[in-house]
Structure 1
């Protein structure tokens, strides 16, 4: 249990710090590419995962599920 805490705590802290810095750059940038990336990320948060299942997307099925015929 201690090993898990020792590995997980610094990992989460590093991810939070790096993600925050990246989000700041993406949000404040005037670059058209970063604005497009921002739009894609926000759209990804806005679309619920069930939409892909309704559309029958190949990404919605688990690897063990066989396609319906």
Structure 2
């Protein structure tokens, strides 16, 4: 029974990882890790998301759809 639970847990973790990568949620984690490695203070989550939307809006003409 514990093997089934372990397998389900791994499956749920994989789905969570995939969805976070698909939606861009993991970019925040990478930003924080990069800032820590460089000894910089990271942007707040709000600033980070605002920056992402500003960059996307500025480059909207480069997307195909």
Normalising by structure 1, report the TM-score.
0.36
Higher helix share: 2
For the pair shown, which has the larger CA radius of gyration, 1 or 2?
A: 1
Normalising by structure 2, report the TM-score.
0.38
